[in-house]
Structure 1
Amino acid sequence: MNKIENWRSLRRELLFYSMGYTKSTARKPLIAIVNSWSELNPGHYHLRELAAAAKRGVWQAGGTPLEFNTVSICDGFALDKRYNLPFRDLIAFTIEMSLRAHEFDGAVFLTTCDKNVPAHLMAAARVNLPSIFVTGGPMLPGRFQGKDIVCCTDGRPMFGKYMTGELNEEDFQEFCLASHGSVGACGMMGTANTMQCLVEGLGMSLPGCATSHAVSPSKYRLAEESGRQIMELVARKITASAVMTKEAFDNAIRLFMALGGSTNGILHLLAIAKEAGCSLQLENFESISNETPFLCNVRPSGKYTLRDFDEAGGIPVMMKHLEPLLNTEVMTVTGKALKDNLANIRPKSNDVISGLNDPLSNNGGITILKGNLAPGGAVVKRTAFPKNRFIHKGRARVFDSLIKVEEGLENGTITLDQSEVLIIRYTGPKGGPGMPELHISPIFHAKGLQDMVIVTDGRTSGSTKGAMILHVVPEAADHGPIAAVQDGDMIELNVYDHRINVLIPEEEILNRLHSLGDFKEENDSFSTGWMRLYQAMVSSASEGTIMSVDNEK
């Protein structure tokens, strides 16, 4: 080592001394503990204690753990939904910069919720250190009137009953207090738990980590084991790119389909794969879905909770059932191939996780629709879509804001019929901006509209059930055909045949789009700052809504 290199190394060592570390500690492998702990939401509230367990493991295995925090976001806690998806890219950038600047030897990532998990995976893929994930786990289900309940999925129809007077004030308050059973991710197969499961499916967390609950002792044992295991990965130079391969992404997509996971998982897997240098398109999801059975009887697509799923064996058992369809030669953070991880898994007969010979459905959870209304594709969560709407033809009712629809339904200025097709547009990555979540909200349940077909260039929560056609590409802000739809136009969809069309001539669509002029954001509060950058640089939903200078116009 020359004198310049020696001074560079010594300078950092001297800073360690100022914090009370010894020379021995300063010269061990440095392991980043990337923690999204926050008091802003229940999904990350417990991660300080979980990080302490991970650090124990690092110390035991001969490394020096150094913890830093990143921001986190909860889709429920953050009231302005435009900010949620842009947070994903912001978090990824901050983690990437911290890891690159400080030249760590390895990293343990602690994260739980919807946008945070993919953000950490994106950063891990970019920096390509030896990496392991400790996902925060689901919250416990609540109990109401003798039954297990989960927030969001059970909450929206319950609030609808409260609005109509079917549920009295006292019972409603009891439900509210009971609906979130503990800290952790919301207790259904929404986006947060979908993404935690996909981390394990990619091979980036230890077996069983995804569904080990936030308050379970097993979660803390897994965190400590992960701290020890990162040192093994460092010693063997097993980096994130050795685990997050194209074959691993194919495995994760297959697991995704068998789980009936959140449609947001498509956006995130596309983005993570791009950062990992693996090419994915919507067609990959469609083809794998068509040959993968749906096996997971968990809300919102089934009847059980994440606790039931965990007790039935969680992701290891799911992947054991799927083993004939998986590439089991892929490397995982155990330091072993997937086939070795699955070798001793023995599924037990239960009603929560089905086998390949007795699936809940012969096809996976996601279908991609195309047609003149969505030339670049649109996403349907088939397992949560009402069967009576798989084939539907109805007149369009067009709005540029779901909030205006909800307010109009509540005050009586808007009336809708379930035979119609509700078009909600200018809610895509650019048009929102930020692709804010849309829900079949309690007012729809109160008005008996819970099965109404909704077509949007936006997205929805993974907790949502209903006839929702999402991520329409091109979005309205990009002059997609959805911007040309007018009240009264006939919309025809067929989920079985993967198509959606507006029944007007192509020439008329082009004429209407030409007359619109350039898209201008009504809200000019984003003339500066991160949201302005996001709007200028974000890709389409079919490309993962990822920020890149290549997207800037």
Structure 2
Amino acid sequence: MTELRSAQWYGGDGRDAYIHRAWMRRGLPDDAFTGRPQIAIANTASDLTPCNRHLDEVARSVRDGVHQAGGVPLELPALSLGETQLRPTAMLWRNLAAMATEEMLRGNPVDGVVLLGGCDKTIPALLMAAASVDLPAVVVPGGPMLTGTFRGTPLGCGTDVWRLSEEVRAGTLSRDDFTRSESAMIRSKGHCNTMGTASTMGLLAEALGMVVPGVAGTPAPDSRLLAAAHGTGRLAVELVAADRRPSTVLTRASFHNAIVALAAIGGSTNAVVHLLAVAGRLGVELTLDDFDRIGSRVPVLVDLLPAGRFLMDDLHRAGGLPAVLREVRDLLDPTALTVTGRPLVEYLDDAEIWDAEVIRPRSAPLVEEGGIAVLRGNLAPRGAVIKPAAASPELLRHRGPAVVFDSIEDLHARIDDPDLDVTAGSVLVLRGCGPKGYPGMPEVSNLPLPAKLLAQGVRDMVRVCDGRMSGTAYGTVVLHVTPEAADGGPLALVRTGDVVSLDVAARRIDVEVDDAELAARSPSRATVDGYARPVRGWERLYVDHVLQADTGADLDFLLGSSGSEVSRESH
């Protein structure tokens, strides 16, 4: 094994080495600083990130594994992003969390890292950081919660919040009953139990090769998660000895496999921006079109909310991700490696489906072609995405007059106005919600339907937005419209009454306005006034440097890997 990176701090008998050892000793034995890998445990546990609170317990199991394998475990608190708590939107802080973790890994005497994440943005941020610093790294996903029930019916986190709240607005559910369901929604520790972004990114981290195969999706309260965390701590020491880095695992082949997995599990559209951002940190050529080319015609095999019926603990008992991937093995790139050093496909031989209702066989998919579809047209010159599996089939080809909202505030002020000129055939358009415009690209694209239409029994409409939507959400939603309105995109020029045409089969989203007329238009004052204009702090830095959704909404100066070398020596 080559000299450990940490020896740059601890090796020798000079003053600097003395300082580094003395301040870190604190009960450690003398040999802690001579030849024993220093393993950071990047831990996103926080009381304000309820989905990640249990990661302190997971970290203890990782520590035990690192110790057993001869390493020195060092817990490193990482910036934590609570999806349900953080305003204005957790996505605004993903790049900051990635940058902070990258710099702490680079600046400290560590040889490898175990990444502990769960809630939506934490695993993407940790992967981005690991890709940038390129030290040996492995992920332990925190896992989903157990399923709660209300009046005998299973509750899906997020998805049933949207569903029940719409029923209240429609007058078919009392507000008292809605409130009673609140205490049953979150049954245990862990992240959302639907196929939302948290579940999706945990599973995709495994499909990318960054999780020990078979671990992702293990429920948070399951004792097997702690056993896996212990084993992962041992593996982290092995990664350092083998010099197995993210750049050897996160190859184009692994991103190919992640896109196949995203489609087969019916995963969140948010995975598109996260995978693009991780690839950008590595210099891997990945484009929006790859998601359509590789994944759009992959069958959805997992029958989970929001696209299906079951929940994450059902997926785990039914065979988990390996059972899903075995069904689409012929679509995977067999060259992609995992953190264990073995190809991902080698772990599929013994996988089995134990419940064919939850994981459908390839011969009887939930949706024949349900992967992410990429749309283009004069409304989205650089692309937009839609998740057909979560949409209403009859709306996948639709024409209707636009009802335009210039901001989220405008939407909230007018959506339930009984005089709003809207029908079930209208297309709801919301702008000013992209990376720059909001800022942070919030999960608002699944606009609430007008109350008067809900009362008529309408439960879906075509919606178009430059923001994102929760992975737990559903509906015929065209989102990530690029360029966004605030970046000069044509979405800023659409007017109420313009006819919007959606044709998913043809991969088109257009506004039926003559090109010359569209070019002659300018954004309205209300549109421009709705854009964010931060004057200081992170929001200012973000708006000045954030890229568009089609490349992952990272900051322009963070593209590419910077490696683990520190630019200046201390003392």
TM-score by length of 1: 0.94
- Equivalent residue in structure 1 for 2:543, among 535, 541, 546: 535
* Cα distance between partner residues in 2 of 1:118 and 1:445: 36
Paired position in structure 1 for 2:114: 108
- Report the CA distance between 1:458 and its aligned residue: 1.0
Distance 1:220 1:444 in 2: 46
Q: CA deviation at 1:357?
A: 2.3
Aligned 8 A contact 1:33 1:66 in 2: yes
Deviations 1:261-304 (A, max 9, x none): 11110000000011122111111001012342211111101111
Match of 2:82 among 71, 74, 77: 74
Indicate if the aligned counterparts of 1:421 and 1:455 stay in contact, CA closer than 8 A: yes
Identity of aligned residues (%): 38
Task: Name which of 33, 48, 55 aligns with 1:26.
Answer: 33
Q: Mark the CA change 1:389 to 1:164 in structure 2 (over 3 Å): closer, same or farther.
A: closer
- After the TM superposition, which residues 292-441 of structure 1 pair with which residues of structure 2 at under 5 Å, given as runs? 292-348=298-354, 350-410=356-416, 412=418, 414-438=420-444, 440=446
Corresponding residue for 1:248? 254
> One-letter code of the match for 1:13?
R
- Kindly indicate whether residue 504 of structure 2 is the aligned counterpart of residue 504 of structure 1: no
CA distance in 2, matches of 1:136, 1:440: 27
The 3 A distance-change label for structure 1 pair 330 and 519 is same
- Residue 490 in structure 1 maps to residue 490 in structure 2: no
Partner of 1:56: 64
Q: CA separation of 1:435/1:169 partners in 2, compared to 1, >3 Å: closer, same or farther? A: closer
User: Distance in 2 between the 1:514 and 1:49 partners?
Assistant: 52
CA distance in 2, matches of 1:446, 1:511: 35
- Partner Cα separation in structure 1 for residue 449 and residue 473 of structure 2: 14
Structure 1 residue aligned with 2:215: 209
**What is the deviation of 1:114?**
1.1
Deviation of the 1:431 alpha carbon:
1.0
The more displaced of 277-286 and 507-516 is: 507-516
User: Which of 127, 145, 170 is matched with 1:139 structurally?
Assistant: 145
Structure 1's 77 and 499: CA in aligned 2 closer, same or farther, altered over 3 A? same
In 2, are the aligned partners of 1:366 and 1:379 still within 8 Å (CA)? yes
Name stretches of at least 5 consecutive residues in structure 2 with no aligned partner: 1-6, 560-571
2-side partners of 1:72 and 1:530: how far apart? 16
Which residue in the other structure is 2:185 paired with? 179
One-letter amino acid of the counterpart of residue 66, structure 2: V
Q: Which runs of 5+ in 1 are unaligned?
A: none
* Secondary structure at the counterpart of residue 129 of structure 1: coil
| Other structure's SS at 1:255 match | helix
Aligned to 2:568: none
8 Å CA contact 2:377–2:509 kept in 1: the answer is yes
Code of the residue aligned with 1:469 in structure 2: it is V
Contact 2:445 2:465 in 1 (8 A): no
Question: Separation in 1 of the partners of 2:117 and 2:48?
Answer: 14
- Cα drift, residue 205 of structure 1: 0.7
Preserved CA contact (<8 Å) 1:271 1:545: yes
Deviation at 1:5, TM superposition (A): 5.6
Partner secondary structure for residue 521 of structure 2: helix
Q: Aligned equivalents of 1:310 and 1:98: distance in 2?
A: 34
- CA deviation map 1:435-457 (0-9, x unaligned): 11105466657741531211111
Deviations 1:197-239 (A, max 9, x none): 1001111111222210111101111111100111111111111
CA distance in 2, matches of 1:20, 1:445: 64
Q: Is the CA contact 1:426–1:476 (under 8 Å) kept in the aligned structure 2? A: yes
Is residue 451 of structure 1 aligned with residue 460 of structure 2? yes
1:16 aligns with 2:24: yes
RMSD, matched Cα: 2.3
Matching residue's letter, 1:464: A
CA distance in 2, matches of 1:273, 1:259: 21
Specify the SS of the correspondent of 1:471.
coil
- Larger mean CA deviation between 150-159 and 462-471 belongs to 150-159
Give the CA deviation at 1:530. 0.4
Deviates more, 1:535-544 or 1:161-170: 161-170
Alpha carbons of structure 1 residues 416 and 515: separation in structure 2 relative to 1, 3 Å? closer
TM-score of the aligned structures, taking structure 2 as reference length: 0.91
Figure out how many residues of one structure are paired with residues of the other and give that number.
547
Q: Distance in 2 between matches of 1:259 and 1:277?
A: 26
How far does residue 113 in structure 1 lie from its aligned partner after superposition? 1.3
The match for 2:553 among 539, 545, 549 is 545
Q: Which moved more, 1:169-178 or 1:380-389?
A: 169-178
Decide whether aligned partners of structure 1 residues 493 and 439 sit closer, same or farther in structure 2, where only a CA change above 3 A counts: closer
Question: Residue 157 of structure 1 contacts residue 445 of structure 1 at CA under 8 Å; is this kept in 2?
Answer: no
Code of the aligned partner of 1:532 = R
Distance in 2, matches of 1:173 and 1:295, equals: 34
Q: Distance in 2 between matches of 1:444 and 1:279?
A: 42
How far apart, CA to CA, are the structure 1 residues paired with 2:164 and 2:310? 17
Tell me: CA distance 1:411–1:481, structure 2 relative to 1, closer, same or farther (3 Å): closer
Return the match for 1:65 from 73, 80, 103: 73
Shift in Å, 1:26 = 3.1
| CA positional deviation for 1:144 | 1.2
SS of the residue corresponding to residue 379 of structure 1 reads strand
- Shift of the 550–299 alpha-carbon distance from structure 1 to 2, 3 Å rule, reads closer
